Structure 1
Amino acid sequence: MTSTSGASGTVRPIAVVGPTATGKSDLALDLAERLGGEVVNIDAMQMYRGMDIGTAKLPVAERRGIAHHQLDVLDVTETATVAAYQERARADVDALLAAGRTPVIVGGSMMYYQALLDEWSFPATDPGVRRRFEDRLAEVGPLALHGELAALDPAAGAKILPTDGRRIVRALEVVTLTGEPFAASAPEIGPARWDAAIVAVDRDTEALDARIAQRTRRMFEEGLVDEVRALEEGGLRDGVTASRAIGYAQVLAAFDGEYDLDHARELTFVGTRRYVRRQRSWFRRDPRVVWLDGAAPGLLDAALAAHAAPAWRPPRTVD
């Protein structure tokens, strides 16, 4: 493991992860102020310029003068990839550590988090193979293609949602190119890169559902529909990843007459709540994470204590 901070022991990153709408951004700002740090984003959709309201991106005026990295780095027509993010974000963290600034890594995109903090080398890609499976996806749809993946690689089929066409295509590409199961390319949990501390913010499920409902309502009241319309003119529908973001996909479908905007808002709430359940389940499997109550008055102190605690190490095994 590479560790810029390990040599001096003076600067250590802290990652603030967990479900959407729990208060991660505010805690990250508090930590950056206290630790003399800067924020590194790990929310995939906040990397897109113009996708502000629907991603709950903090406006510049509310960032307390703290620099944010990996925000607004992609146009909506560009495809976000974990491999490209890994390269850019690791360079940001290394630069901050070299400058003596504490990286405060914040967001809830699960694979981006793991790509940044774990040793994960991505299998090569082949445009021809990828295109073949993308064409197959367009021809038969994600459910049928998922069946083909499950027959070829049952473990990947069990792990990847039947609706996630992009990951189904990628899994088939990797299996085809490597001749190995898709899981063989996944990282294993070990000490976090840079010995980063990791905290997750969560809240009572009922209270969090209420926060999601309030956030969704506020997004539509504050102009999400107009934001999507402007992005549509800028090529949003051509974006492989941006157009599928929760909220944006639902509003685009409303534009197409599939349902009205009130139903789009309800589906955005339902989609966000479902995503929160996935985030919670995924991060709960990571033994390095220190869980914090986002409603607790001592939230910042608890996060600082986690940052000061010894780095996680795997349990010792006895032969």
Structure 2
Amino acid sequence: MARMMYREAVLSTIAEEMERDENVVVLGEDIVGGNGTAGGPEAIGGIWSTSTGLYGKFGADRVIDTPISESAIMGAAAGLALSGKRPVAELMFADFIGVSLDQIWNQLAKFRYMFGGKTKCPAVIRMAWGAGYNAAAQHSQAVHQILTGMPGLKVVMPSTPADVKGLLRTAIRDDDPVIFLEHKALYGVKGEVSDDKDFMIPFGHARLTRAGNDVTIVSTGLLLGFCEAVADKLAAEGIGCDVIDPRTTSPLDEEAILDSVEVTGRLVVVDESNPRCGFAGDICAMVAEKAFASLKAPPLSVTPPHTPVPFARELETAYLPSIPKIEAAVRKVLSYR
């Protein structure tokens, strides 16, 4: 085992896969230098420092600095994937998918189906997402609820450095397009990771981070840590919470959630996407439909309000689900007898 930051897990996994397979290429805005140094020793490797050193090691043919055009990046990734390469393309902020939705939604996601399964499209699209970074309305959004609703895409949301290693390696080796969402507020978080260069985590397998028999809490990304803090606090009072990290929203490990609710009878879903047509509502609906007889209380969701992400630090803090809000929701479902 090794200990590293979330961003280091991203970088090291990409480097290991590029060493293993010469067809793996990376592309994106400013990924070579990020500091005007063209990949030299002072290069930071993009604003998130997730491609530092790749240019010097693998060269311009496999580490491609692109123009500031998200549609061009996605179009290039699609073409590379169809021609036998395994592109790992970076959108600097997930918010920028708007100008490249045709390439993602109508091209990447549908090639396998439109060509009758006769071709593969092994593209990984990495995006930094999420609030808590004081980056305002156009650089702080959650987009997983949009992308999860697009058939043909696999959507991955790692919450720990260990999950980054296992899930990113699975994504790069997958023959279908994968959206890999990295919460920007987690880049500096440290954790233990496997040294095994073939360590992989299969898609559609949730992770149980806390165990208890009273309430099921489902969350991912930055807010997962908030949920774990609530579970730890309540455990001291004799209240047990199952905390489930789905890891992937498509495919979704419905079985893990339903099995837990069948024991606890209570569900709280904590998510950073907005409440209307959001991921939390989707999980609550799924449980209400498939485990209604097990429920002892109405499923509750804890989400931001249906507004853009505010810029002011105090407003952003109020916008995001918080530990007190999550605790209040858990206590509310426990109040039903």
TM-score by length of 2: 0.32
Q: Which has the higher strand share?
A: 2
Larger RCO, structure (CA 8 Å, separation 6 or more)? 1
Instruction: State TM-score, norm by structure 1.
Output: 0.34
Q: Larger % of helix: which?
A: 1
